[in-house]
Chain A
Amino acid sequence: MTRPSKVRERSVATFLFAVLALSPPVLAIFSVDARPFGIPLLYFFLFGVWGAVIAVVAWIADMGQRDPREEPPGIPGTSRADRREGH
């Protein structure tokens, strides 16, 4: 069941932002000869967006860690102690 939570909303928002920023029309805007810091603008933009998205995901994941609803329940038979040894 999907429970509404800030973590989920932010994840979706980040996803939508990433889809937009990495969409071809937006990339076409940056497809020019400029080279900020010596790096072609398009690649500068691509890696910038990529890095930013990763940072936001990290931030959201960290936020979710403090949300007890996000934690998995214990499932018998899958915990480490249940793992078997070789024969």
Chain B
Amino acid sequence: MLTGWVILLVSLAYLSVLFAIAYYGDKRADAGRSLIANPYIYALSIAVYCTSWTFYGSVGRAASSGMDFLPIYLGPTLMFVLWGFVLRKIVRICKAHRITSIADFISSRYGKSARLSGLATMIAVIGIIPYISLQLKAVSTSFNVLLQYPEVVMPRASSQVSVFEDTAFLIALLMAMFAILFGTRHIDASEHHEGMVAAIAFESIVKLIAFLSIGIFVTFGLYNGFGDLFATAARVPDIAALLRGGSVSYGRWVTLTLLSMVAIICLPRQFQVLVVENVDERHLRKAAWLFPLYMLVINIFVLPIAVGGLLYFPTGQVDADTFVLTIPMAERREGLALFAFIGGLSAATGMVIVAAIALSTMISNDLVMPVLLRAKRLRLTERGDLSGLLLSIRRGGIVLILLLGYGYFRIIGESVALVTIGLVSFAAVAQFAPAMIGGIFWRGGTRAGAMAGLGLGFGVWLYTLLLPLFAHSGWLPLSFVQAGPFGIALLKPYALFGLTGMDNLSHAMFWSMAANIGGYVLGSIMSRPSAMERVQAALFVDVFSHSGAHGGSRFWRGTATVADLQSLLARFLGAQEVNRVLGDYARARGLNLGKLRDADAALVSFAERLLAGAIGAASARVMVDSVAKGEVVGIEEVMKILDETSQVIEYSHRLEQKSGELEIMTHELRAANERLKELDRLKDDFIATVSHELRTPLTSIRSFSEILVDHPNLDPAQRESFLRVVVKETERLTRLINDILDLAKMEAGRMDWEMGETVPGTVIDDALAATGSLFAERTIHLDVDIDAALPNLHVDRDRLMQVVVNLLSNAVKFCDGTDGLVRVIARAEGGVFRLSVLDNGPGVPSADRERIFGKFQELIGPAADRPRGTGLGLAISRQIVDYFGGRVWVEDALGGGAAFHVTLPMGGARAPGAQRPAAAAQATRR
């Protein structure tokens, strides 16, 4: 029953269903009721990742080397875990800039360079051709295998039949037709192909169900479930090894994982469905787990089918790549075998169609158009409607790609396994990764770097993967691989520079990535980006902060007339459409385009982006340049604009800092001012007090002198008594002035100190002797208690004596008038010399205990016995004791009087010398 025409008929019927779905999808889109605007269709369309490589190749891979087939699906899962960082950013960028392909993305990022877009397109086309040929090979092989039914034998190689009899050729033509019909219906500013996406999603369902059916049939039809199948398999030693994971090296596992991680965004068809065909960024959120889930489900039965096939065909006469087909065939399940074939067909067509559309867009927008537009001779920039030309280029591109794929398949495909061919393509598109991923996270990447990286990486890929494949198929002598070109062993493509011990793929990836990333980074660092590159770098890297809405308009300061822009757009997009889009634009901004003559920068930029969606960023640049006068603003200004935001933040940060500093400084200044005012007040007070203190003795001296002058006949006793008063007041005046001078010197740090070893006992004795008359005058009882074993002090002897005399005379002044008692105690305790002078006077109220050490701060006692001191004694004493490094203070004595204490460090605690004046100065600041 499974004759050739039945298979063909069913295949054609299936393809007709696809056409119908695509047609319906496009109709719905035209009517504004999109079929694909939901995350489920989106996730299913991403599943175009699972091609016939998955459908047939995975089983083959699992049968030969165990779990080797899995990293290809784990890698994308890992990338989708990070969807919020990478995928979302790429989608957002592409929507903001209307990017329609990988080449466009890379060229756009690096300053809309046409050369870069051309290079990227070349890499994509050359890299993907083997992949397309793989699909053709899979379809052709499966068709031929199925054709042998009911026998299960491997068919003749395709190369032995003529091109026109070859099913692969027919299939290629059919796929080209589909791609042309649904991929190049019209030029669209957003490059959405809703019908195509709907068909792809449908195909994803078909291939999933087909594969699951085979898996369930093998596991539950031939065996009693997983346990039975694996238990049977474990008894065969070779298969048991596969169950333990098989022969997978660490290096290969890691290489495959990394490769597939980047492939999921760098493969042109994945970029197309994932990014370009995305209708709503929010769909990513669900697809982030739906698509990995799809991959998991479709992989569940890979190992069971592989193991089942190995058990079923133990002799190895059946290619493991065809187990999906041959097991049902051998079991005489015609329907199931046919369904498996359809599943494989849908996996292959899905990939080929999307890849062909993606590549043809690249070829037209990023390779051919830039060249045509720049060719002055053609004067294309001045010609009329170009959308027809554009569509023709795309259609031609699709046919070309499929023919190339078919040619590759005829020449090379036969000799190599599915997976190997696929991985060569993966390795090629992985070369985009540094420029893409680097481009969205690193502002410093430049056009020169991207050119160097892409070029070098692609060159190494060509040398280490593609050329050896050519050699294996006879295009090049095999010695090229085995002995190296011209017999140079160091240049052997599978052991470049003597690097051995890796599988071919890991080896190629190592060298190509080293060259690629190295070239990208070095090239970027060594080159100076142009203004346009910087603008684009900033717009890409900071896409989440620069709102996509006003694109690069801030960097553009050219002018064009609205009419010019309108006619330019109309040549690519159609007049009606342009009027509608521009009308929307004007309404949204409250403009009246009819009255507006000159387009502003925003409108020019909008037009450029609109055009970029149709013909690519590089071409759009050229076209807009042809009607707009002006250019991108100078580099300094660009940097200024770019840094505007960061600068504002920087400024406000600095302002904040400055104002903080100012506040602190104001505070300090206010404090200093307060202190100055206080000092000024103190100085005024001091002068007032000094003047007052000086005037009192002067007044009495003057009045007594006048009396003596006016009354020469005074009796001698009276005269002598007056003269004594004059002498006494003069002495007082002298003492006062001496004290003031001392204090001033000490405060200014200009005092001459004669420091030396001093015996404290004798100083106290001398002081007592000097004040002995005071005690005698007032009959005060003196109680002296000096420790006999006092150590020497390193002080100025005279000054210390001054302190003791001060304290003693104070005590005399304040002690009880009738029954005075003064005690003097000197002790050495705890390494400190301590002198205490106690009296039985009224004592010092605790509030005044600091104040009395100030200048002229005598306690106002009962007016009658107001003491007649200079008021500077305690102030001077404090200065002196401070200088000696000691302390003087007052507290209550036992029994109510005042107790003055002086402590001094023993044994020359303070080194004499240079620091003295400073220390003194410090002391004055108290």
- State whether the Cβ of B469 lies closer than 8 Å to any Cβ in chain A: no
Considering the chains assembled together, what is the distance between the CA atoms of A40 and B70 in angstroms? 15
- State whether the Cβ of B797 lies closer than 8 Å to any Cβ in chain A: no
- State whether the Cβ of B470 lies closer than 8 Å to any Cβ in chain A: no
Least CB distance from B440 to A in Å reads: 12
List the A side residues contacting B544 at CB < 8 Å: 1-2
Evaluate contact between B279 and A77: CB separation under 8 angstroms: no
Of B80, B229, B542, chain A has the most CB atoms within 10 Å of the CB of: B80
Number of interface residues of A (CB under 8 A): 54
A-B contact pairs, 19 of them (CB 8 A): A7-B84, A23-B254, A24-B253, A31-B245, A33-B244, A40-B303, A42-B67, A42-B245, A50-B296, A54-B77, A54-B289, A72-B281, A75-B95, A75-B548, A76-B588, A78-B95, A78-B190, A84-B186, A87-B574
List the B side residues contacting A53 at CB < 8 Å: 77, 81, 292
List the A side residues contacting B545 at CB < 8 Å: 1
- State whether the Cβ of B600 lies closer than 8 Å to any Cβ in chain A: no
Of A1, A25, A83, chain B has the most CB atoms within 10 Å of the CB of: A83
List the A side residues contacting B303 at CB < 8 Å: 40, 43
Q: Which 3 residue pairs spanning A and B have beta carbons closest together?
A: A38-B227, A58-B289, A24-B250
Least CB distance from A78 to B in Å reads: 5
- State whether the Cβ of B293 lies closer than 8 Å to any Cβ in chain A: yes
- State whether the Cβ of B153 lies closer than 8 Å to any Cβ in chain A: no
- State whether the Cβ of B82 lies closer than 8 Å to any Cβ in chain A: yes
List the B side residues contacting A19 at CB < 8 Å: 78
**Which residue in chain A gives the minimum CB-CB distance to B545?**
A1
Q: A12-B82, A18-B81 are in contact. Are A80 and B577 (CB under 8 A)?
A: no
Evaluate contact between A75 and B96: CB separation under 8 angstroms: yes
Of residues 1 through 27 on chain A, the ones whose CB sits less than 8 Å from some CB of chain B are 1-2, 7-8, 11-12, 14-15, 18-19, 22-25, 27
- State whether the Cβ of B56 lies closer than 8 Å to any Cβ in chain A: no
Contact of B188 among A46, A73, A76, A83 (CB under 8 A): A83
Looking at B30-38, B557-565, B658-666, the stretch in contact with chain A turns out to be B30-38
List the A side residues contacting B77 at CB < 8 Å: 18, 50, 53-54
**Which residue in chain A gives the minimum CB-CB distance to B188?**
A84
Evaluate contact between B606 and A77: CB separation under 8 angstroms: yes
Of A27, A43, A58, chain B has the most CB atoms within 10 Å of the CB of: A43
Least CB distance from B542 to A in Å reads: 6
Evaluate contact between A61 and B288: CB separation under 8 angstroms: yes
List the B side residues contacting A27 at CB < 8 Å: 67, 245, 253
Evaluate contact between B609 and A85: CB separation under 8 angstroms: no
Interface flags for A28-45 (1: CB within 8 Å of B; 0: not) read: 000111010111101100
- State whether the Cβ of B228 lies closer than 8 Å to any Cβ in chain A: yes
Evaluate contact between B581 and A42: CB separation under 8 angstroms: no
Least CB distance from A76 to B in Å reads: 6
Least CB distance from A26 to B in Å reads: 11
List the B side residues contacting A76 at CB < 8 Å: 549, 584-585, 588
Main secondary structure of the interface of B (DSSP, over half): helix
Evaluate contact between A87 and B186: CB separation under 8 angstroms: yes
With A12-B82, A33-B240, A83-B190 already in contact, 11 other A-B pairs whose C-beta atoms are closer than 8 Å: A11-B83, A24-B254, A37-B227, A38-B231, A39-B227, A40-B244, A72-B281, A77-B190, A81-B32, A84-B189, A84-B574
- State whether the Cβ of B230 lies closer than 8 Å to any Cβ in chain A: yes
Q: A8-B85, A22-B74, A24-B253 are in contact. Are A84 and B230 (CB under 8 A)?
A: no
Q: Give the total number of A-B pairs whose CB atoms are below 8 A apart.
A: 163
Interfacial residues, chain B to chain A (CB-CB below 8 A): 26, 29-30, 32, 34, 37, 67, 70, 74, 77-78, 80-85, 92, 95-96, 98, 185-186, 188-190, 192, 225-231, 234, 240, 243-245, 248, 250, 253-254, 257, 279, 281-282, 285-286, 288-289, 292-293, 296, 299-300, 303, 542, 544-545, 547-549, 573-574, 576-577, 580-581, 584-585, 588, 606, 609-610
Considering the chains assembled together, what is the distance between the CA atoms of A43 and B96 in angstroms? 43
Considering the chains assembled together, what is the distance between the CA atoms of A48 and B26 in angstroms? 40
Evaluate contact between B226 and A84: CB separation under 8 angstroms: no
Contact of B225 among A7, A12, A25, A38 (CB under 8 A): A38
Evaluate contact between A83 and B192: CB separation under 8 angstroms: yes
Evaluate contact between B576 and A87: CB separation under 8 angstroms: yes
List the A side residues contacting B243 at CB < 8 Å: 33, 35, 40, 42-43
Evaluate contact between B609 and A11: CB separation under 8 angstroms: no
Considering the chains assembled together, what is the distance between the CA atoms of A78 and B244 in angstroms? 50
**Which residue in chain B gives the minimum CB-CB distance to A19?**
B78
List the B side residues contacting A73 at CB < 8 Å: 547-549
List the B side residues contacting A81 at CB < 8 Å: 32
List the B side residues contacting A31 at CB < 8 Å: 244-245
Evaluate contact between B245 and A77: CB separation under 8 angstroms: no
**Which residue in chain A gives the minimum CB-CB distance to B387?**
A87
Least CB distance from A42 to B in Å reads: 5
List the A side residues contacting B286 at CB < 8 Å: 61
List the A side residues contacting B609 at CB < 8 Å: 77
Evaluate contact between B610 and A77: CB separation under 8 angstroms: yes
Considering the chains assembled together, what is the distance between the CA atoms of A58 and B596 in angstroms? 50
List the A side residues contacting B289 at CB < 8 Å: 54-55, 57-58, 61
List the A side residues contacting B29 at CB < 8 Å: 83
Least CB distance from A20 to B in Å reads: 11
Evaluate contact between B82 and A43: CB separation under 8 angstroms: no
Of A12, A19, A73, chain B has the most CB atoms within 10 Å of the CB of: A73
List the B side residues contacting A46 at CB < 8 Å: 67, 70
**Which residue in chain B gives the minimum CB-CB distance to A51?**
B296
Considering the chains assembled together, what is the distance between the CA atoms of A66 and B190 in angstroms? 29
Least CB distance from B731 to A in Å reads: 83
Q: A35-B227, A76-B585, A78-B95 are in contact. Are A64 and B32 (CB under 8 A)?
A: no
List the A side residues contacting B245 at CB < 8 Å: 27, 31, 42
Evaluate contact between A8 and B581: CB separation under 8 angstroms: no
Least CB distance from B96 to A in Å reads: 6
Considering the chains assembled together, what is the distance between the CA atoms of A55 and B292 in angstroms? 10
List the A side residues contacting B250 at CB < 8 Å: 24-25
Considering the chains assembled together, what is the distance between the CA atoms of A80 and B254 in angstroms? 41
Evaluate contact between A43 and B234: CB separation under 8 angstroms: no
Q: A76-B585, A86-B30 are in contact. Are A50 and B74 (CB under 8 A)?
A: yes
List the B side residues contacting A39 at CB < 8 Å: 226-227, 230
List the A side residues contacting B70 at CB < 8 Å: 46
Least CB distance from B198 to A in Å reads: 15
Contact of B32 among A22, A33, A37, A80 (CB under 8 A): A80
List the A side residues contacting B189 at CB < 8 Å: 77, 84
**Which residue in chain A gives the minimum CB-CB distance to B645?**
A1
**Which residue in chain A gives the minimum CB-CB distance to B250?**
A24
Contact of A42 among B95, B96, B244, B548 (CB under 8 A): B244
**Which residue in chain B gives the minimum CB-CB distance to A72?**
B281
Evaluate contact between B85 and A11: CB separation under 8 angstroms: yes
Contact of B296 among A11, A18, A54, A58 (CB under 8 A): A54
Least CB distance from A63 to B in Å reads: 10
